[in-house]
Structure 1
Amino acid sequence: MKHHRPLRVGALILEELSKILLREVESRGELITITSVDVDKKLEHAIVYVSVLVPASPSSQGGPGDARDAERRAEKAVEMLGARQPYLQSLLYRTLNIRPMPTIMFRRDRGLERAAGVERALLGR
């Protein structure tokens, strides 16, 4: 039964951190979504995978410059989460009754971005 605990803790962190991000983190138009949380067996570390979708600006032409700008904005969003990690960690600690509370680390999940890119290519955008 003990080997299921990291999965349960990961699910709790995903659910609560998603709520916290909605309340506490302001983005500049980027859609930040937690896609999964991997917790190690000792419950010391949790890798939080986030997907960042950047909407196209109305004046964009869809060229390489726009793609670079979207990539830069997505990287900045993940960096911002990393910078706010201590604050977000403290909110999780207060909200969830998990001891020990794993230390969270943010990593970018590019799966949804790749799917959106394939869809755009198929639609000819």
Structure 2
Amino acid sequence: MRPYRDLKIGNLIQEELSRLILRNFDFENTLVTVTKVEITPDLLQAKVSLGIIPFNQGPMVFRALEAQRRELQHRLLKKINIKPMPHLKFLIEEETAT
């Protein structure tokens, strides 16, 4: 039963985080997609995979999201209402380079 819950929470975080990024960030001429969210079994960490086009904008997007990580976690907590809210860890997918 546990893996199903992890998957469901990961999907909820993916949907809400995608909306938050779309509404609150303006990455000019850059497409940012939350492609996957993996939750650790203890629900304390969420690995957020980002697809970024063009790929060379990845470091700029990563820095902007990392700077606002705590605010994003707080807003997710309000939307999803799970405790503890998993700590977000952003990862840039390499496949988007092609």
For 1:93 and 1:13, locate their aligned partners in 2 and report how far apart those are by CA, in whole Å: 10
Q: What root-mean-square deviation, in Å, do the aligned CA atoms of Structure 1 and Structure 2 show?
A: 1.3
Corresponding letter in the other structure for 2:83: R
| Structure 2: gaps of 5 or more residues | none
Q: Which residue number corresponds to residue 29 of structure 2?
A: 29
| Structure 1: gaps of 5 or more residues | 55-69, 118-125
What is the correspondence of 1:1-125 to structure 2 with a 5 Å cutoff? 1-54=1-54, 71=56, 73-111=57-95, 113-114=96-97, 117=98
- Provide TM-score, normalisation by structure 2: 0.91
What SS is found at the alignment partner of 1:51?
A: strand
For 2:24 and 2:45, locate their aligned partners in 1 and report how far apart those are by CA, in whole Å: 22
Instruction: Give the structure with the larger strand fraction.
Output: 2
Which segments of structure 1 move beyond 3 Å, counting only runs of 4 or more? Answer: none
CA contact (8 A) 1:30 1:74 kept: no
For 1:39 and 1:25, locate their aligned partners in 2 and report how far apart those are by CA, in whole Å: 24
- Provide TM-score, normalisation by structure 1: 0.73
Alpha-carbon displacement from aligned partner over 1:66-115 (angstroms, at most 9, x marks no partner): xxxx52x221111211111011111101111212211111110122x24x
When the two structures are aligned, how many residues end up with a matched partner? 98
CA contact (8 A) 1:33 1:50 kept: yes
CA contact (8 A) 1:6 1:40 kept: yes
Larger radius of gyration: 1
For 1:84 and 1:25, locate their aligned partners in 2 and report how far apart those are by CA, in whole Å: 10
